[in-house]
């Protein structure tokens, strides 16, 4: 990542140099030892990630037998249906429910993450100022994030019920917990309340790493607050911000408990893909539930991939870039010190 200011301060050296050097430093044996030490981790990862994943994939190819025998007992067993569960989901009689849930999931994700980002950054800017009670504000802002989602769902349900605080304050009679746009708005408000602090804190952490001198220099150059924010703060907190947004994206795509508790299951206007998967498994249709879970997994993976490729091309590489810059700076310093001592 390069920014005008940063590059003025320290022109980046040829990118390849430090990395190659590090590689040469490392003894070949060290790599073997590293993999040996990491192998338990990989085994655990295989067990807890790969196995459930493959198992769900396998399960999604089966459907439970339905129907009763002459004595009224359920015919047991499962039959292999291949991609039948997926076909049903995409083109079956109930596919409307799936597309609706897909739309809801996408809608909630982009609206909430978008608003959260804006509000979270605003929080961070506010908290980054020095003022009395700053520590208190920082602790207070974490509270929504610390409350379990199901509990905050109940809390907001109470606020949004027909004779609740929301209607009292607005002096209206909106039925937030019924169907429709009001229900979606309720979910969005509660979700933002809960997660904007998360973005705020991550961005704040990023802001605290920005050296004060950079701002002072900008002030001398006559940059106003907005200019400083756009040209210094935003570019420099970008890595932290992108990680925060990525985390929130992944989280929001799996949204389950908030609409479930706040509005209720099977409410069309707030039904998400996770709720659909839950609903199917609750009806003992494990095949269909697995298929929903796999579809959601693929969807999450696609969004994450696109995000990393397009927006956050530096999310991972940035750590390297910063290390390179640091190394370059150290090198320069050393060179200067050498020059001085030579003099």
Q: Is 67 in the site for other proteins (CB under 8 A)?
A: yes
Number of residues that bind other proteins (CB under 8 A): 64
No. of H helices and E strands in the chain? 17, 2
Count of all residues that appear for the chain in the document: 343
Q: Is 282 in the site for other proteins (CB under 8 A)?
A: yes
Q: Is 195 in the site for other proteins (CB under 8 A)?
A: no
Least separation in angstroms between residue 222's CB and other proteins is: 38
Angle at 331 between CA 327 and CA 336, to 5 degrees: 150
Using left for φ > 0, alpha for ψ between -120 and 50, and beta otherwise, residue 179 falls in: beta
Task: Quickly list H helices, 132-264.
Answer: 134-146, 149-160, 165-170, 181-208, 212-220, 225-228, 234-253, 257-262
- Closer of 87 and 313 to other proteins (Cβ): 313
Q: Is 281 in the site for other proteins (CB under 8 A)?
A: yes
Least separation in angstroms between residue 5's CB and other proteins is: 24
- Closer of 145 and 251 to other proteins (Cβ): 251
Q: What is the contact mask toward other proteins in residues 288 to 327, using x (rule: CB under 8 A)?
A: -xx--x--xx--xx--xx--x------xxx--x-------
Q: Is 155 in the site for other proteins (CB under 8 A)?
A: no
* Rounded CA separation 339/60 (Å): 68
Contact predicate 58/83, CB 8 Å:
no
CA distances from 324 to 146, 254, 336, 338 (A): 36, 36, 18, 21
* Rounded CA separation 242/287 (Å): 36
Q: Is 49 in the site for other proteins (CB under 8 A)?
A: yes
Least separation in angstroms between residue 275's CB and other proteins is: 11
Site for other proteins in 239-258 (CB under 8 A): 246, 250-251, 253-254
Least separation in angstroms between residue 189's CB and other proteins is: 17
Is beta strand 62-64 parallel, antiparallel or unpaired with respect to 78-80? Answer: antiparallel
Least separation in angstroms between residue 320's CB and other proteins is: 7
Structure tokens at 311: 């927006």
Among 8, 283, 331, 338, binds other proteins (CB under 8 A): 283
CA distances from 261 to 57, 184, 195 (A): 28, 13, 17
Least separation in angstroms between residue 176's CB and other proteins is: 8
Under 8 Å CB-to-CB from 212, ≥6 apart: which residues?
A: none
Q: Is 73 in the site for other proteins (CB under 8 A)?
A: yes
Site for other proteins in 77-136 (CB under 8 A): 77-78
Q: Where do contacts with other proteins occur on this chain (CB under 8 A)?
A: 15-16, 19, 48-49, 52-53, 55-56, 59-60, 62, 64, 66-68, 71-74, 76-78, 161-163, 173, 175-179, 246, 250-251, 253-254, 264-267, 274, 277-279, 281-284, 286, 289-290, 293, 296-297, 300-301, 304-305, 308, 315-317, 320
């Amino acid at each position: 990542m390069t920014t005008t200011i940063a590059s003025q301060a320290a022109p980046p050296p040829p990118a390849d140099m430090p990395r190659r050097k590090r590689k040469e430093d490392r003894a070949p044996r060290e790599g073997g030892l590293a993999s040996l030490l990491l192998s338990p981790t990989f085994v655990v990862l295989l067990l807890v990630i790969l196995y459930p994943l493959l198992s769900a994939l396998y399960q999604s190819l089966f459907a439970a037998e339905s129907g009763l025998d002459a004595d009224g007992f359920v015919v047991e067993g499962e039959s292999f249906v291949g991609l039948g569960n997926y076909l049903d989901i995409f083109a079956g009689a109930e596919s409307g429910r799936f597309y609706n849930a897909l739309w809801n999931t996408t809608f909630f994700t982009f609206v909430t993450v978008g608003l959260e980002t804006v509000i979270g950054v605003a929080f961070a800017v506010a908290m980054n100022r020095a003022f009395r009670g700053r520590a208190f504000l920082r602790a207070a802002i974490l509270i929504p994030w610390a409350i379990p989602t199901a509990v905050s769902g109940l809390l907001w349900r109470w606020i949004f019920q027909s004779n609740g605080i929301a209607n009292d304050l607005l002096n209206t009679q909106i039925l937030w917990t019924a169907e429709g746009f009001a229900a979606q708005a309720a979910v969005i408000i509660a979700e933002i309340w809960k997660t904007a602090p998360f973005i705020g804190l991550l961005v704040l952490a990023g802001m605290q790493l920005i050296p004060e001198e950079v701002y002072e220099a900008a002030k001398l150059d006559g940059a106003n607050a907005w200019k400083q924010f756009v040209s210094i703060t935003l570019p420099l907190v970008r890595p932290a911000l992108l990680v925060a947004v990525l985390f929130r994206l992944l989280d929001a795509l799996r949204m389950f408990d908030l609409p479930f508790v706040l509005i209720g299951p099977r409410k069309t206007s707030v039904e998400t893909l996770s709720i659909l998967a839950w609903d199917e498994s609750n009806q003992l249709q494990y095949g269909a539930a697995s298929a929903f879970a796999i579809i959601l997994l693929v969807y999450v993976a696609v969004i994450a991939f696109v995000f990393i490729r397009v927006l956050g091309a530096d999310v991972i590489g940035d750590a390297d870039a910063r290390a390179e810059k640091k190394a370059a700076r150290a090198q320069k310093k050393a060179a200067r010190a050498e020059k001085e001592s030579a003099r």
